[in-house]
């Protein structure tokens, strides 16, 4: 909203300083600061309210050290994260941008699913929460929305490579500081595409339509049969991965902040025609605006970590974890970087995989040997290390270190091909 207000003041009255709101970097910085302030101030008030209403976590005794001490810790703290993301975005982003619209709807929708799950657990005293089939249905629904919008909306286009002549003309006529002006110069030259980015490969574009090439001439028009289910699968997997990671104080919050910071880099270079040309990557018009949103996500996670770090004063619950996982998945899909998710979301992947392997092998061994056997001492993976004798803060810090290494490795894939 402030973007449009100060844009009007700048154009109509030449209001001093109003032009700053045309710079993505300025609005991203303001989004970080605002989300931090909201997290810290609103967080304290919400925690006090949750304490007063005795809205606490119900812990099932799994025999883990220090686990039962968390009994009664306020949950549903994901409301802090959602507020700290949505308010700065509404204030500083271009709300008519199609990518901002998609990510806002995805955030609210997945946050709502998580909120319903937490509500049932806390107020209905049902530890199972929202039935799994309804949770999956909600994730599939938002995946279908994102997939259909990405596939059919005329404003979602890419430019794979920019001609040198066009680049030179843009350099001479555009103000590089006012990034919002740049996409307008090239939006008309973009094209609809179902291409994504393959890491470590030169000329690293991959088109999902290749899976249907066996259909013969005109096979491209059926690409949605592959493209949309893949998007649904990615959103569901990453969202659940973040949910599984939320088992130790600060773990899901910190790893989400690291992943979001990585995506901020990709949003900036993919939405900036000069950087995209230099790095020889797909230029995606209008995605630069997503830097404002993801900056708010980073600020919200860091601000929430103030209260969620060990020993946690509040848990995010499914309200936060499902939303954060979904945000990361949808964001990567819009930037055509979903094939990088296994790298920069390696922690989520490991947590997800540990549960799948544990359950799968238990069922297999019970059928084959007559008794269920386990690969890990306990799944998800962080509990395995806890039963090995590692203290919770050490596990969380080491997971952060691994997450940072994976994030750096993901960023340098821009040059390693």
Whether the CB-CB separation of 57 and 308 falls below 8 Å is answered with no
Does the pLDDT value for residue 2 go beyond 80?
Answer: yes
pLDDT score of 186:
43
Instruction: Say which DSSP state 221 is in.
Output: G
Closest of 337, 359, 322 to residue 112, by C-alpha: 322
128-142, 291-305, 380-394 — most confident range: 291-305
Kindly give, in sequence order, each residue whose CB lies less than 8 Å from that of residue 161, ignoring residues fewer than 6 positions away: 277, 280
In the block, residue with structure tokens 């009994």: 71
- The pLDDT of 207-228, averaged and rounded, is 88
* Helical segments of 124-158, H only: 132-152
- Least confident stretch, 128-142, 203-217, 396-410: 203-217
Higher pLDDT, 173 or 257: 257
Q: How many residues does the chain have?
A: 417
Strand-pair partners of 205? 197
Closest of 203, 180, 186 to residue 93, by C-alpha: 180
Instruction: Say which DSSP state 208 is in.
Output: G
pLDDT score of 172:
45
Strands (E), 35-190: none
Does the pLDDT value for residue 154 go beyond 70?
Answer: yes
Does the pLDDT value for residue 168 go beyond 60?
Answer: no
Q: Give the C-alpha separation, 324 to 103, whole Å.
A: 11
pLDDT score of 111:
96
Sign of the torsion angle spanned by Cα atoms 87, 135, 103, 309: positive
Q: How confident is the model at residue 181 (pLDDT cuts 50, 70, 90)?
A: very low
Whether the CB-CB separation of 2 and 20 falls below 8 Å is answered with no
- How many helices and strands in the chain, by DSSP H and E? 16, 2
Q: Judge if the upstream peptide bond of residue 354 is cis by omega within 30 degrees of 0.
A: no
Taking the CA atoms of the chain, what radius of gyration do you get in angstroms? 22
Does the pLDDT value for residue 226 go beyond 60?
Answer: yes
Strands (E), 256-320: none
pLDDT score of 199:
87
* Helical segments of 203-272, H only: 224-245, 251-270
Closest of 186, 190, 192 to residue 167, by C-alpha: 186
In the block, residue with structure tokens 């940072």: 404
In the block, residue with structure tokens 């997800």: 352
Query: In terms of C-beta density within 10 A (0-12 exposed, 13-18 middle, 19 or more buried), how is residue 127 classed?
Result: exposed
Kindly give, in sequence order, each residue whose CB lies less than 8 Å from that of residue 76, ignoring residues fewer than 6 positions away: 50, 55, 115, 118, 119, 122, 315, 317, 319
Whether the CB-CB separation of 150 and 333 falls below 8 Å is answered with yes
Does the pLDDT value for residue 361 go beyond 90?
Answer: yes
Query: In terms of C-beta density within 10 A (0-12 exposed, 13-18 middle, 19 or more buried), how is residue 205 classed?
Result: middle
- Least confident stretch, 32-41, 99-108, 164-173, 296-305: 164-173
pLDDT score of 180:
45
Does the pLDDT value for residue 236 go beyond 50?
Answer: yes
- The pLDDT of 146-166, averaged and rounded, is 79
Q: How confident is the model at residue 185 (pLDDT cuts 50, 70, 90)?
A: very low
Does the pLDDT value for residue 312 go beyond 60?
Answer: yes
- Computed over every residue of the chain, the mean pLDDT equals 87
- Least confident stretch, 13-17, 163-167, 399-403: 163-167
Q: How confident is the model at residue 187 (pLDDT cuts 50, 70, 90)?
A: very low
- Least confident stretch, 100-109, 183-192, 247-256: 183-192
- The pLDDT of 32-48, averaged and rounded, is 91
- The pLDDT of 199-219, averaged and rounded, is 85
pLDDT score of 57:
65
Higher pLDDT, 413 or 123: 413
For 313-345, how does the pLDDT look when each residue is reduced to its tens digit (9 = 90+)? 999 989 999 999 999 999 999 999 999 999 999
Angle, helices 317-334/78-92, rounded to nearest 10 degrees: 40
- The pLDDT of 82-108, averaged and rounded, is 96
- The pLDDT of 145-160, averaged and rounded, is 90
Judge if pTM exceeds 0.85. Answer: yes
Q: Give the C-alpha separation, 368 to 363, whole Å.
A: 9
């Amino acid at each position: 909203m402030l973007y449009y207000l100060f844009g009007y003041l700048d154009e109509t009255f030449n209001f001093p300083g109003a032009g700053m709101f045309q710079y993505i970097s300025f609005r991203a910085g303001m989004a970080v600061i605002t989300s931090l302030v909201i997290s810290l101030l609103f967080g304290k008030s919400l925690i006090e309210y949750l304490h007063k209403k005795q809205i606490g976590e119900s812990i099932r005794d799994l025999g883990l050290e220090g686990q039962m001490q968390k009994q009664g810790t306020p949950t549903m703290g994901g409301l802090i994260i959602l507020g700290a993301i949505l308010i700065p975005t509404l204030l500083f982003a271009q709300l008519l941008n199609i990518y901002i619209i998609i990510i806002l709807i995805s955030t609210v929708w997945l946050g709502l699913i998580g909120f319903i799950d937490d509500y049932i657990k806390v107020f209905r005293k049902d530890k199972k929460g929202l039935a799994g089939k309804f949770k999956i249905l909600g994730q599939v629904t938002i995946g279908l929305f994102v997939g259909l919008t990405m596939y059919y909306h005329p404003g979602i286009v890419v430019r794979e490579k920019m001609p040198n002549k066009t680049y030179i003309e843009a350099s001479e006529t555009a103000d590089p500081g006012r990034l919002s002006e740049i996409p307008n110069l090239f939006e008309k030259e973009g094209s609809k595409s179902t291409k994504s980015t393959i890491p470590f490969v030169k000329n690293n574009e991959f088109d999902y339509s290749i899976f249907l090439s066996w259909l013969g001439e005109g096979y491209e028009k059926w690409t949605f049969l592959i493209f949309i289910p893949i998007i649904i699968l990615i959103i569901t997997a990453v969202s659940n991965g973040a949910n599984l990671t939320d088992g130790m104080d600060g773990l899901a919050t910190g790893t989400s902040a690291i992943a979001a910071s990585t995506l901020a880099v990709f949003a900036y270079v993919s939405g900036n025609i000069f950087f995209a040309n230099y790095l020889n990557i797909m230029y995606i018009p209008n995605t630069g605006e997503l830097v404002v949103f993801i900056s708010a996500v980073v600020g919200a996670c860091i601000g929430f970590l103030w209260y969620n770090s060990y020993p946690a004063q509040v848990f995010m619950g499914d309200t936060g974890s499902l939303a954060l996982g979904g945000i990361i998945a949808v964001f990567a899909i819009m930037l055509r970087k979903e094939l990088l998710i296994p790298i920069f979301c390696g922690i989520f992947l490991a947590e997800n995989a540990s549960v799948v392997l544990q359950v799968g092998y238990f069922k297999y061994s019970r059928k084959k040997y007559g008794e269920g056997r386990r690969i890990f001492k306990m799944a998800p993976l962080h509990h395995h290390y806890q039963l090995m004798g590692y203290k919770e803060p050490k596990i969380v810090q080491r997971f952060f270190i691994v997450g940072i290494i994976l994030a750096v490795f993901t960023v340098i894939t821009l040059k390693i091909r």
